[in-house]
């Protein structure tokens, strides 16, 4: 759908409502990277601690304990620095990145991070600008998930800052809920347009591009 994969460096927003598959897509993509011998980091925000994410994802076939044990896929946490020292959040993030040198980084999800910073009186827009400036200096693809839908994307700061936007949705049509994935924007790429049917099975996500 995107001419062969994510550019490096690039930032990708994976937007969708709860349960649309954002975490599954992100983590499956980290295991893909790790199977190529590279390092992928999963940074959990406050909503779900990393061990919770790991325990439900370990049911998927793509989840490989060996890759976790050998630190090819690293599950880490921004939650405690968010709560206790939000002003040091950037530093904490940089520390994790510099320790593991990932070629793919997932921040899941960004929405509560911004809300907490705002509540603690820290300028969350400035944080976002610093974050994106930092990410541009890395040879890394960063996937940022956000609890958003088609209605909220046009007014969201991150949607302007990223290189690509993937929207995941599950509209109800004729009494049936189907999952979809759409590449809404992808800088410099002749990407497939329109919502594509998405399947989530034990094997992970698969997109049926072109099927209706």
Ligand X SMILES: Nc1ncnc2c1ncn2[C@@H]1O[C@H](COP(=O)(O)OP(=O)(O)O)[C@@H](O)[C@H]1O
In sequence order, which ranges of 42-110 are alpha helices (DSSP H)?
Answer: 50-57, 65-69, 79-84, 89-100
Determine if 23 is a binding residue for ligand X (CB under 6 A).
Answer: yes
- CB closer to Mg ion, 23 vs 196: 23
Helices 124-136/111-119 angle, 10° precision? 130
Give me the least distance between CB of 63 and ligand X, in Å please.
Answer: 11
What residues contact residue 84 under an 8 Å CB cut-off, 6+ apart? Answer: none
Site for ligand X in 170-209 (CB under 6 A): 200-202
- CB closer to ligand X, 90 vs 184: 184
Determine if 122 is a binding residue for ligand X (CB under 6 A).
Answer: no
- CB closer to ligand X, 5 vs 19: 19
Pick the piece of the chain touching ligand X (CB under 6 A) from 21-29, 84-92, 112-120, 148-156: 21-29
What residues contact residue 163 under an 8 Å CB cut-off, 6+ apart? Answer: 7, 10, 11, 12, 186, 187, 188
| H or E segment to which residue 158 belongs | helix 157-161
What residues contact residue 4 under an 8 Å CB cut-off, 6+ apart? Answer: none
Determine if 28 is a binding residue for Mg ion (CB under 5 A).
Answer: no
Report how far residue 139's alpha carbon sits from residue 91's, in angstroms, rounded to the nearest whole number. 18
Determine if 111 is a binding residue for ligand X (CB under 6 A).
Answer: no
Among 11, 20, 23, 169, the residue binding Mg ion under the rule CB under 5 A is 23
Among 10, 11, 20, 28, the residue binding ligand X under the rule CB under 6 A is 20
Q: Contact at 8 Å (CB) between 208 and 180? A: no
Determine if 212 is a binding residue for ligand X (CB under 6 A).
Answer: no
E strand segments, 99-178 = 104-108, 141-146, 164-169, 172-173, 176-177
Pick the piece of the chain touching Mg ion (CB under 5 A) from 17-25, 66-74, 173-181, 191-199: 17-25
Pick the piece of the chain touching ligand X (CB under 6 A) from 20-28, 70-78, 127-135, 149-157: 20-28
Look at residues 138, 191, 184, 193 and name the one whose alpha carbon lies nearest to residue 162: 184
Under DSSP, is residue 74 helix (H, G, I), strand (E, B) or coil? strand
Among 19, 171, 188, 210, the residue binding ligand X under the rule CB under 6 A is 19
- CB closer to ligand X, 10 vs 24: 24
Binding site for ligand X (CB under 6 A): 16, 18-24, 59, 200-202
Binding site for Mg ion (CB under 5 A): 23
């Amino acid at each position: 759908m995107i001419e062969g994969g994510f550019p490096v460096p690039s930032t990708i927003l994976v937007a969708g409502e709860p349960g649309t598959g954002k975490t599954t897509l992100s983590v499956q993509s980290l295991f893909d990277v790790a199977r190529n011998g590279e390092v992928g980091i999963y940074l959990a925000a406050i909503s779900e601690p990393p061990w919770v994410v790991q325990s439900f994802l370990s049911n998927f076939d793509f989840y490989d304990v060996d890759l976790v044990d050998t630190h090819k896929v690293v599950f880490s946490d921004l939650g405690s620095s968010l709560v206790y020292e939000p002003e040091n959040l950037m530093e904490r993030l940089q520390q994790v990145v510099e320790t593991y040198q990932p070629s793919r980084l997932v921040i899941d999800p960004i929405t509560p991070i911004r809300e907490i910073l705002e509540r603690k009186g820290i300028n969350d827009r400035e944080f976002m600008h610093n974050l994106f400036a930092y990410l541009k200096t890395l040879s890394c693809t960063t996937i940022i998930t956000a609890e958003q839908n088609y209605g909220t994307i046009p007014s969201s700061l991150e949607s302007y800052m990223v290189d690509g936007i993937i929207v995941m949705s599950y509209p109800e049509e004729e009494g049936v809920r189907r999952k979809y994935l759409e590449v809404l924007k992808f800088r410099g790429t002749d990407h497939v347009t329109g919502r594509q049917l998405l399947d989530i099975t034990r094997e992970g996500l698969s997109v049926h591009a072109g099927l209706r």
